[in-house]
Amino acid sequence: MLFEVFVGGLLIRGDKVLLKKSEGLKYTFPGKMLEQDETLETALMSGIKRDTGWSCAVGSLSYVIETFARDDRHTLQFYFTVTVPNDTISKIWSNGVTFVPIEELGSFDVHPPVLVGKFIVDQRRGSRNSAAYLVSSSGD
């Protein structure tokens, strides 16, 4: 069994969230797999920089997702809120990143899908105070 740790960022601007275009028509939240001797914070800052070209500040932990995939992978995914300076957004880096209206997330093929519905509901409610733990056994 392969055990992996992914850390992703939730960069929200008004009613939109930042997504990164992945393979095909799939999208992900920006971030990266944890490497040896990295903390979640340094890995997330590095992943956001790689995906967007922007330096970020890491905020609070929002979601933890545990995935048991069909291909014998066990993955823990940590999603934190992130912020970037306001003037940074105007310098958008076109590495396949885009801001998508939160209410339209369900019409995109976003990975991990188990997060999308919960994230939309939480944003409607203004729930940002505590982390949510989600489990996915589909490997999606």
User: Could you read off the pLDDT of 60-103 as tens digits, one per residue?
Assistant: 999 999 998 888 889 999 999 999 987 666 555 557 888 999 99
Print the domain residue range for 76. Answer: 2-136
Residue 90, pLDDT score: 58
The number of folded domains in the chain is 1
CATH label of the domain that carries residue 97: 3.90.79.10
Phi, psi torsion values for 15, nearest 5 degrees: -105, 20
Q: What is the pLDDT of residues 26-56, one digit of tens each?
A: 999 999 999 999 999 999 999 999 988 889 9
Question: What Rg value do the Cα atoms of the chain yield, rounded?
Answer: 14
Q: Cα–Cα–Cα angle for 68, 49, 7, nearest 5°?
A: 20
Strand pairing class (57-68; 2-10): unpaired
- pTM higher than 0.95, yes or no? no
Please give the Cα distance from 53 to 112 (Å, whole number): 23
